[in-house]
């Protein structure tokens, strides 16, 4: 049996979670758990869609796969959650893969799981990863470094889950899952990345995203998370300098 823990927090972006879920639930013996502090309804960032958390962190101490979605207005709030960070550090010790979609990598970074690793995120958040000691990879859709794998924004979660499926049960299983969900994307526009979009399209997309992200709780949590990251990096750098023996 493969236990799959999908972190299900208030304000998550639904496709970040549901896309990978539809892929990973088709693995043999999949035991899918939507995990949070407590079981019950969780409202996505739209304020309309509701998803149910089925298990608590305490009930899920050793999942095989852990996946953290992003959430435009709430990711920094949850990156500032000490219990979530502690659980992620603990379960990563036993998990085969610890993964994130979109800005979920910011939560992994805040938990200290990206230090010294290459990682990606949503195009608006990818440079934020540098504050957590990661090397941002803005031009890659999926980045795996050791047992941690991160995906770019939202729809990239489907690609990520297919990649994980191939690692867990072989490429033929992953290909069969891809066909089962008829994942054969042919978008009507070539504007799925910053590199292929005009400046006007980037500006419009930024304005759409800003409606959800400019909130006082988000800003307050963001400030705390980034401040803690800066302090950790400063203290780590100081310890490294002290460990160097002077010569000459």
Strand partners, 30: 2
For Cα atoms 137, 122, 142, give the angle at the middle one, nearest 5 degrees: 50
Dist CA 9 CA 188 (whole Å): 32
String of DSSP letters for 158-214: HHHHHHHHHHHH-HHHHHHHHHHTT-----SSS-SSGGGS-HHHHHHHHHHHHHHH-
Catalytic residue among 102, 131, 158, 229: 102
Dist CA 43 CA 232 (whole Å): 33
Pair type for strands 55-56 and 118-119: unpaired
Dist CA 161 CA 69 (whole Å): 12
102 given a catalytic annotation? yes
- 8 Å CB contact between 100 and 125: no
DSSP-based three-state secondary structure for 51:
strand
Half-sphere exposure of 46 toward its Cβ, with a 13 Å CA cutoff?
Answer: 8
Instruction: Give catalytic residue positions.
Output: 102
């Amino acid at each position: 049996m493969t236990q799959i823990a999908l972190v299900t927090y208030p304000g998550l972006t639904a496709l970040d979670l549901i896309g990978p879920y539809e892929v990973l639930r088709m693995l043999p013996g999949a035991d899918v758990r939507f995990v949070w502090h407590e079981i019950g309804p969780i409202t996505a960032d739209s304020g309309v869609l509701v998803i149910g958390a089925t298990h608590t962190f305490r009930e899920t101490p050793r999942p095989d796969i852990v996946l953290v979605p992003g959430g435009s207005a709430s990711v920094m709030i949850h990156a500032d959650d000490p219990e979530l960070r502690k659980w992620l550090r603990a379960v990563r010790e036993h998990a085969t893969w610890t993964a994130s979609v979109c800005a979920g990598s910011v939560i992994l970074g805040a938990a200290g799981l990206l230090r010294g690793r290459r990682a990606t995120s949503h195009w608006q958040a990818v440079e934020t990863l540098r504050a957590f000691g990661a090397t941002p990879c803005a031009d890659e859709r999926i980045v795996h470094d050791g047992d941690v794998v991160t995906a770019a924004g939202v729809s990239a979660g489907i690609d990520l889950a297919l990649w994980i499926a191939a690692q867990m049960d072989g490429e033929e299983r992953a290909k069969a899952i891809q066909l089962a969900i008829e994942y054969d994307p042919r978008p009507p526009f070539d504007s799925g990345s910053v590199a292929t979009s005009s400046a006007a399209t980037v500006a419009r997309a930024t304005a759409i995203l800003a409606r959800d992200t400019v909130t006082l709780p988000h800003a307050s949590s963001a400030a705390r998370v980034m401040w803690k990251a800066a302090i950790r990096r400063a203290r780590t750098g100081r310890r490294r300098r002290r460990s160097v023996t002077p010569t000459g």
